[in-house]
């Protein structure tokens, strides 16, 4: 159990910098998810914490120790890889025992830990099988088992669920969360799936193009995204962005309608979540329907802002009948408006 | 209904395979059957008459202690060549697998020996180890070790083993490197996180995972040492001193073309032929089965 501190962490491959100074303090026992689009540097960041990539600049602390110069073996971490990375020539039992044997634990202690982990993960029946004789989900469990028998200070996960089918993914997600709480281990988890990130993490770090855009709890990220990128990345369906400018205490949209709320002046982008638009015949936000998706519990209405080409999506509770071409009015509460300046940063 | 494509039967397919069949007939089947036929003949001392003797030549070989000694020597020689060459390649490949920059230059340099004709390779080693002129021999003498493979059988054997192994290093290296690079990087990384140092990772993860390649190369190298080292031995030691480096193929040549015992020589080559067939069968069976790990 340990705290992790990332201090102005940078990484370059040759002349190209892929991480531009990441700062974070991860509390003891906390579950932190690093989320972002493909290629943003998530794996690189995680692998630097693991010691599999060198640090170009900055410092990493695990517990009290600065670990920049330490080998992966000396950092007291365990990692679960996307492709599981099980040792193909060893049985499940040997896979889990490998790290313990190297550390020179007594045989009965090794057996005890392996049996215990096998019981927690329900893989007791496969202990003598080879990895290729297991299904994807079972391999995933073995990889988890190999991590927990070591009883490390920190768990690192690099998209461990992305090779599983949707149902299994949801189930394993819950199990990982329960396991981490039960063991009280600090965990850093990389994913590009924002739903996974929201459900798993105590806190989320949104990474974009090598910059940490925001680091906060899922609710903070949802309620007060600090940048347009975070606003668009977190939440499903994604937030709508309507260009406009501030006049007095209202935002004037492209088609001239005024949405009350906001302060200051100049060009802004108004962000509104689909679920925060309230049907209101006299409302300022006029949507021309293109099509509706009936999801049962709610209806997603896709369309454009009347008189413009700006896409707009609204989520309405229950089943609603709408016709193509129809114009619907919506209003929005002031506290649910997100205003972003020309540089993409939040201004309200 | 299953639809099949039917070609009208014609001469064309036969014409197309004919050259290959012809080559096989002329360069393999015909000499092989000649050897088989000759192995059952005995020629008189003047080469005037021949007599058909069934398996007498083989019987004579089995009773000949020299032949059995050659057999043992060949086994030792080929195992030694395989071992030296494979372990050397394994070490080189282990390093190349870690190097990324300059890897192509390194690989190109390493493949060169394979392109050199055996006789030239042999000549190269002869020059280096020539007791009076050779640079290595000179260096060894300087260190107080007397090198003369023209007199010392053990040294002669060591020299042909080195020369034969050296030529095969490049080939083994390529296979080993390919095998190592096909191991997922994350498996090795997982072992590093589990606490295994580079040597431990090599012996517990990489080496077991490339064992199919090791077996494949073992057979290939044995076959090479058995049959393809004639040129090297001929250039380096001519089988001497006192037969110390005469292996089976060399003895076939010696008995047949120098000793003019055609029947005995043919019998030896038939035995060699049986051996190579056996080795090939072992290899194919094994490759078919893949390797259990
Ligand atoms: N060994 C390397 N050499 C050069 N560039 C690299 C190397 N490894 C990664 N990169 C670059 O660094 C950036 C970040 O890569 P990284 O693997 O961390 O992305 P990621 O966020 O994990 O993406 P994904 O979700 O697709 O796994 C990418 O632009 C990638 O091209
Ligand atoms: Mg990645």
Q: Across the interface, which of B186, B195, B205 has its CB nearest the CB of A81?
A: B186
CA gyration radius for chain A? 24
Q: Give the CATH number for residue B172.
A: 1.10.3720.10
For B208, the domain range is 57-288
B10-42, pLDDT tens digit by residue?
Answer: 888 888 888 898 888 888 888 888 777 777 777
C-alpha to C-alpha distance for B279 and B269, rounded to whole angstroms: 15
**CB atoms A146 and B190 under 8 Å:** yes
Predicted local distance difference test score (pLDDT) of residue B197 = 86
pTM: 0.80
- Work out the pLDDT band at A228, boundaries 50, 70, 90: very high
| 8 A C-beta contact, residue B164 and residue B229 | yes
Structural domain contains residue B38: no
Structural domain contains residue B44: no
- Work out the pLDDT band at A10, boundaries 50, 70, 90: very high
**CB atoms A87 and B190 under 8 Å:** yes
C-alpha to C-alpha distance for A286 and A271, rounded to whole angstroms: 15
Structural domain contains residue B31: no
Interface test with A, best of B189, B195, B209, B213 (most A CBs within 10 A): B195
Structural domain contains residue B51: no
Beta-carbon contacts of B157 under 8 Å, excluding residues fewer than 6 positions away, are: B77, B244, B245
> Considering only CB atoms, which chain A residues are within 8 Å of B209?
88-89
Structural domain contains residue B24: no
| 8 A C-beta contact, residue A30 and residue A217 | no
C-alpha to C-alpha distance for B37 and B34, rounded to whole angstroms: 5
Structural domain contains residue B17: no
Structural domain contains residue B189: yes
The finding on whether A38 has its CB within 6 A of some atom of ligand 1 is yes
Per DSSP, helices labelled H in chain A are: 42-50, 92-102, 107-121, 136-149, 166-183, 194-200, 218-223, 228-233
Paired sense of beta strands A154-158 and A77-80, if any: parallel
- How many helices and strands (H and E) does chain A possess? 8, 20
B interface toward A at CB cutoff 8 Å?
184, 186-187, 189-197, 200, 204-205, 208-209, 293
Beta-carbon contacts of B205 under 8 Å, excluding residues fewer than 6 positions away, are: A87, B183, B187, B188, B191, B196
Task: Tally the domains of chain B.
Answer: 1
Structural domain contains residue B93: yes
Q: CA torsion, points B174, B176, B179, B181, in degrees to nearest 10?
A: -70
pLDDT of A303 > 90? The answer is yes
Q: Can you give the pLDDT of all 293 residues of chain B as single tens digits?
A: 555 666 667 888 888 888 898 888 888 888 888 777 777 777 666 666 676 677 777 777 777 788 888 888 888 999 999 999 999 999 888 887 776 556 677 777 777 777 777 778 778 888 888 777 777 877 887 787 777 777 777 888 888 898 888 888 888 988 998 898 889 989 999 999 998 888 899 999 999 999 888 988 988 898 888 888 888 888 878 877 878 888 878 887 877 777 667 777 778 888 888 888 888 888 777 766 555 55
> Considering only CB atoms, which chain A residues are within 8 Å of B191?
87, 98
> Considering only CB atoms, which chain A residues are within 8 Å of B192?
52, 71-73
CA of A53 to the centre of ligand 2 (A): 13
Interface test with A, best of B187, B194, B292 (most A CBs within 10 A): B194
């Amino acid at each position: 159990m340990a705290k992790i501190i990332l201090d102005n962490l940078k990484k370059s491959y040759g002349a190209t910098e892929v991480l531009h100074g990441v700062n974070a303090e991860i509390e003891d026992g906390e579950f932190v998810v690093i989320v972002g689009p493909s290629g943003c540097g998530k794996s690189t960041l995680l692998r630097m914490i693991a010691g599999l990539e060198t640090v170009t600049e900055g410092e990493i602390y695990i517990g009290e120790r600065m670990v920049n110069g330490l080998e992966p073996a000396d950092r007291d971490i365990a990692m679960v890889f996307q492709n599981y990375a099980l040792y193909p020539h060893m049985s499940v039992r040997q896979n889990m025992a490998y790290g313990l044997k190297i550390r020179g634990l007594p045989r009965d202690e090794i057996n005890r830990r392996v049996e215990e982990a096998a019981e927690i993960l329900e893989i007791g029946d496969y202990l003598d099988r080879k990895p290729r004789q297991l299904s994807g989900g079972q391999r995933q469990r073995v990889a988890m088992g190999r991590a927990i028998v070591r009883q490390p200070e920190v768990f690192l996960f690099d998209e461990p669920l992305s090779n599983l089918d949707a149902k299994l993914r949801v189930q394993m997600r819950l199990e990982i969360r329960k396991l981490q709480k039960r063991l009280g281990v600090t965990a850093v988890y990389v994913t590009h799936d924002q739903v996974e990130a929201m459900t798993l993490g105590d806190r989320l770090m949104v990474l974009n193009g090598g910059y940490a855009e925001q680091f906060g709890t899922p609710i903070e990220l949802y309620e007060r995204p600090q940048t347009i990128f975070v606003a668009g990345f977190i939440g499903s369906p994604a937030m709508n962005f309507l260009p406009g400018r501030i006049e007095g205490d209202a935002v004037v949209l492209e088609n001239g309608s005024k949405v009350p709320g906001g302060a200051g002046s100049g060009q802004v982008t108004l962000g509104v979540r689909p679920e925060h638009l309230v049907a209101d015949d006299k409302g300022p936000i006029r949507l021309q329907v293109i099509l509706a998706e009936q999801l049962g519990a709610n209806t997603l209405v896709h369309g454009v802002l009347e008189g413009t080409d700006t896409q707009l999506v609204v989520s309405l509770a229950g089943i609603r009948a709408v016709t193509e071409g129809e114009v619907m009015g919506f209003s929005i509460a002031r506290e649910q408006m997100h205003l972003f300046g020309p540089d993409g940063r939040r201004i309200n | 209904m299953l639809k099949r494509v039917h070609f009208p039967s014609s001469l064309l397919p036969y014409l197309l395979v004919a050259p290959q069949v012809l080559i096989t007939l002329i360069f393999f089947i015909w000499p092989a059957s000649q050897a088989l036929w000759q192995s059952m003949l005995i020629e008189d001392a003047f080469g005037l008459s021949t007599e058909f003797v069934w398996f007498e030549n083989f019987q004579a070989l089995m009773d000949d202690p020299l032949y059995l000694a050659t057999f043992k020597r060949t086994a030792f020689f080929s195992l030694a060549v395989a071992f030296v060459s494979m372990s050397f390649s394994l070490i080189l490949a282990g390093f190349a697998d870690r190097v990324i920059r300059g890897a192509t230059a390194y690989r190109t340099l390493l493949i060169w020996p394979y392109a050199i004709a055996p006789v030239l390779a042999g000549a190269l080693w002869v020059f280096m180890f020539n007791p009076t002129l050779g640079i290595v021999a000179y260096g060894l003498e300087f260190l107080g070790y007397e090198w003369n493979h023209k007199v010392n059988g053990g040294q002669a054997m060591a020299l042909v083993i080195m020369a034969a192994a050296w030529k095969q290093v490049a080939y083994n290296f390529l296979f080993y490197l390919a095998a190592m690079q096909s191991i997922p990087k994350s498996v090795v990384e997982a072992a590093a996180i589990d606490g295994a140092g580079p040597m431990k990772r090599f012996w517990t993860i990489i080496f077991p995972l490339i064992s199919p390649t090791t077996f494949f190369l073992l057979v290939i190298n044995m076959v090479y040492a058995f049959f393809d080292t004639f040129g090297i031995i001929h250039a380096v030691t001519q089988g001497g001193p006192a037969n110390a480096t005469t292996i089976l193929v060399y003895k076939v040549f010696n008995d047949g073309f120098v000793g003019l015992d055609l029947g005995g020589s043919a019998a030896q080559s038939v035995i060699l032929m049986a051996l190579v067939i056996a080795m090939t069968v072992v290899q194919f069976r094994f490759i078919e089965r893949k390797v259990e790990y």
